[in-house]
């Protein structure tokens, strides 16, 4: 892939990369720096891109993730709810409770979106990141695992916890409004 | 733990290892093999759970996918890519000579369209085309005859109208950072200044100050390219990003054709010391202005009014303004 094609493809994913950067960093100026750093690294390593066998979007997310957490560990970027990240263990397991079965379609989505955004904001960074790669970017568990460099079980575990928190939040919301 | 393999090198999930709950979620996520495993286990009452999980995923996608990267950030990333090309010896570098060559290669189809102004035979075609352009000229606010210095009807001059139309189109296209922007603009300041001097024959004093000093005024220098004008004048297109309002402003600087008459170079009839503002463009929030200084004509185009005063000041636009549509 020549440089110009690579640049064009990379820029096509700028919205997605920025969206994720914003969710990680939570501050627009920090997110902007993070995006630029991600693209600079991607560009400088573009010659090796094809050898890695990933799509360019997944590759950009990988660089973004590594850059964010690398800097985070150095104490350069610290989002509000970062404490849990350091305490998280790779041996985390998923609760075995079954998924809810109530009808989400009964909700008024105009109101639900705000509630959902708030619930997502309240998630820890690593749960939020998995959730967004899955829910917004539509990635498979395996792809999410590759981007984050964690086992499939960890992806599923984090995803389950994030979904559970969101489902509970929506259920509470529905109950408050007498919708369920 | 009854889910997943825990091995990051595994390529796929082993569905047989998952709990029923994890399997239902995997089925909702269309993970390969999940639904087959559900069937194999005889789990037939999970439809509502699958629908719930799928709906939740859709809801997350809908709630969180709307935002786009700020235009200024997009400009900075693209500019950074250009700088990388220029500054890294092993990357493709784009010197101004190369930029010019690329530009010419890209500009051929456009030139074929615009350079009909050069021949007398085609001039009649040009005027006919400008008549057809009438509706387009209306939005520029230049449809009324404008008398400059009491003799030249500049807004009836086909060349002038064509230039305005060209400038508006060029700005609108490049402001989207299209392929031609990527191929022809350089953001490296020294190269940009060299290119400007090469194209214009000499350097307008304000241009170097503007490019070097724009960041002090809240602007980002977004690049400079040579520009093939309809009448073959030497010209450059300079773009700035206004950081506060995330908008683009273009300056087109055109040097006079040597020995050209006012008919051939109609902006020579414009009064030095006055900025001419296309009234309807101004009113519609997409400013288009023109002024003269020395041997150069300056055109300013933008889709936003906010950054215009700053760019005008940087390029030493005359303070006195006249509306082109209402003189």
B33 band by pLDDT with thresholds 50, 70 and 90: confident
User: B237-293, pLDDT tens digit by residue?
Assistant: 999 888 666 788 999 999 987 777 766 677 877 888 999 998 878 778 899 999 999
Which residue in chain B has the smallest CA separation from A167? Answer: B56
Assigned CATH for A101-180: 1.10.10.10
Q: For A55-99, how does the pLDDT look when each residue is reduced to its tens digit (9 = 90+)?
A: 888 889 988 988 888 777 655 433 322 223 333 434 455 556 666
Longest Cα pair distance anywhere in chain A, in angstroms? Answer: 58
Of A4, A99, A102, the CB nearest to B24: A99
Q: Which residue matches tokens 């010019």?
A: B100
Give the count of beta carbons closer than 10 Å to the beta carbon of residue B308. 20
Q: Where are the alpha helices (DSSP H) in B155-298?
A: 158-174, 179-184, 189-200, 205-213, 279-283
Closest by Cβ to A152, choosing from B13, B69, B81: B13
Of B5, B64, B74, the CB nearest to A117: B64
How many Cα atoms occupy the beta-carbon half-sphere of A46 within 13 Å?
23
Contact (CB<8Å) B73/A32: yes
Closest-CA residue of A relative to B89 is A44
Mean pLDDT throughout B282-307? Answer: 91
Q: Which pTM value belongs to this model?
A: 0.49
| Distance from the Cα of residue B212 to its chain's centroid | 20
CA–CA dist A152, B53 (Å, integer): 19
Provide the pLDDT for residue B149. Answer: 47
Q: Residue A14 in 3-state DSSP?
A: helix
Nearest CA in chain A to B23: A98
More confident residue, B147 or B157: B157
CA distance B156 to chain A (A): 42
Place of tokens 């305005």: B164
Topology of domain A1-91, per CATH?
A: Rna Polymerase Sigma Factor; Chain: A (1.10.1740)
**Predicted complex: ipTM over 0.85:** no
Chain A residues within 8 A of B24 when measuring between CB atoms:
98-99
Is A110 part of the contact surface with chain B (CB cutoff 8 Å)? no
- Helical ranges in A28-140 per DSSP H: 28-44, 56-73, 83-87, 109-122, 125-135
Degrees to nearest 5, angle at CA A77 with A76 and A81: 140
Query: What's the maximum distance between 2 C-alpha atoms anywhere in chain B?
Result: 92
Rg over alpha carbons for chain B, rounded to the nearest Å, is: 28
Closest CA to B250 of B318, B321, B181: B181
Is the pLDDT at A114 greater than 70? The verdict is: yes
Select from B230, B190, B205 the least CA-distant residue to B315.
Answer: B205
- Chain B nearest-CA residue for A136: B61
Distances (CA, A) of B310 to A46, B46, B300, B323: 38, 63, 12, 19
Domain A1-91 matches domain A101-180 at the CATH topology level: no
In angstroms, the Cα distances linking B3 to A58, B40, B110, B119 are 24, 17, 61, 77
- Enumerate the domain spans of chain A: 1-91, 101-180
């Amino acid at each position: 892939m020549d440089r110009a094609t690579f640049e064009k493809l990379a820029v096509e994913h700028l919205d997605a990369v920025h969206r994720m950067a914003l969710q990680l960093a939570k501050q627009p100026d920090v997110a902007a720096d993070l995006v630029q750093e991600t693209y600079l690294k991607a560009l400088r390593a573009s010659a090796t891109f094809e050898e890695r066998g990933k799509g360019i979007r997944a590759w950009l997310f990988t660089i973004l993730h590594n850059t964010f957490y690398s800097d985070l560990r150095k104490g350069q970027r610290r989002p509000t709810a970062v404490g849990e990240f350091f305490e998280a263990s790779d041996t985390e397991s998923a609760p075995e409770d079954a998924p809810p079965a109530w009808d989400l379609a009964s909700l008024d989505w105009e109101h639900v979106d705000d509630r959902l955004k708030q619930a997502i904001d309240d998630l820890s960074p690593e749960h939020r990141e998995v959730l967004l790669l899955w829910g917004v970017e539509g990635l498979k568990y395996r792809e999410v695992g590759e981007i984050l460099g964690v086992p499939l079980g960890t992806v599923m575990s984090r995803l389950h916890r994030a979904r559970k928190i969101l489902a509970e939040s929506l259920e509470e919301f529905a109950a408050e409004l007498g919708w369920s | 733990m009854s889910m997943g393999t825990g091995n990051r090198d595994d390529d796929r999930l082993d569905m047989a290892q998952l709990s029923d709950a994890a399997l239902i979620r995997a089925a909702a996520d269309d993970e390969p093999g999940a639904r087959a495993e559900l069937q194999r286990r005889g789990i037939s009452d999970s439809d509502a759970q699958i629908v719930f999980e799928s709906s939740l995923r859709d809801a997350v996608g809908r709630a969180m996918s709307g935002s786009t990267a700020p235009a200024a950030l997009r400009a900075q990333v693209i500019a950074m890519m250009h700088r990388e090309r220029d500054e890294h010896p092993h990357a493709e570098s784009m010197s101004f000579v190369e930029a010019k060559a690329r530009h010419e290669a890209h500009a051929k189809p456009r030139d074929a369209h615009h350079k009909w102004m050069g021949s007398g035979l085609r001039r009649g075609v040009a005027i006919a085309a400008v008549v057809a352009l009438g509706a387009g000229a209306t939005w520029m606010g230049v449809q009324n005859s404008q008398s400059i210095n009491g003799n030249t009807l500049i807004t009836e001059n086909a060349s002038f109208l064509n230039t305005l139309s060209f400038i508006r189109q060029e700005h609108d296209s490049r402001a989207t950072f299209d392929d031609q922007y990527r191929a022809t603009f350089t953001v490296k300041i020294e190269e940009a200044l060299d290119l400007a001097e090469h194209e214009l024959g000499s350097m307008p004093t304000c241009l170097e100050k503007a490019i070097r000093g724009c960041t002090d005024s809240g602007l980002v220098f977004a690049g400079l390219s040579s520009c093939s004008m309809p009448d073959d004048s030497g010209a450059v297109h300079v773009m700035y990003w206004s950081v506060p309002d995330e908008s683009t402003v273009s300056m087109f600087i055109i040097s006079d054709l040597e020995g050209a008459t006012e008919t051939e170079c109609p902006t020579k009839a414009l009064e030095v010391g006055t900025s001419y503002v296309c009234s309807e463009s101004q009113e519609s929030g997409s400013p288009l202005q023109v002024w003269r200084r020395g041997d150069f004509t300056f055109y300013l185009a933008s889709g936003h009014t906010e950054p215009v005063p700053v760019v005008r000041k940087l390029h030493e636009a005359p303070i006195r303004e006249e509306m082109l549509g209402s003189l």
